[in-house]
Amino acid sequence: MDTITFIIPSIGRDSLKNTILSLLNQTSDNWKAIIIFDGCKNTLDKNDYNEKCTFYEIDKTKCVINQASDVRNYGIKYANTKWVGFLDDDDTISRDYVEYFLNQYTIFNFDLFIYRMINKDLTILPSLLSKDVIPCDIGISFIVKRTIFDSIQFKNSHCEDYDFLNLVKKNKNLILISNTIKYFVKSNEEEYLEEQLEYGDCYKIFINGTNPFIYLHYFHKLL
* Residue-level pLDDT, tens digit, the chain, 223 residues: 699 999 999 988 899 999 999 999 999 999 999 999 987 878 787 777 888 999 998 876 555 555 788 899 999 999 999 999 999 999 999 999 999 999 999 999 999 999 999 887 888 888 877 777 887 788 899 999 999 999 999 998 888 899 999 999 888 899 998 888 899 998 766 665 434 443 333 333 333 333 333 323 334 445 4
Residue type present at position 192: Y
Q: Is residue 86 within 8 Å of residue 185, measured between CB atoms?
A: no
Q: What is the pLDDT at residue 1? A: 65
Q: What is the pLDDT at residue 17? A: 93
Residue 165 exposure: Cα atoms within 13 Å on the Cβ side: 24
Domains of the chain with CATH codes? 4-222 (3.90.550.10)
Q: What is the pLDDT at residue 189? A: 67
Q: What is the pLDDT at residue 216? A: 31
Q: What is the pLDDT at residue 74? A: 93
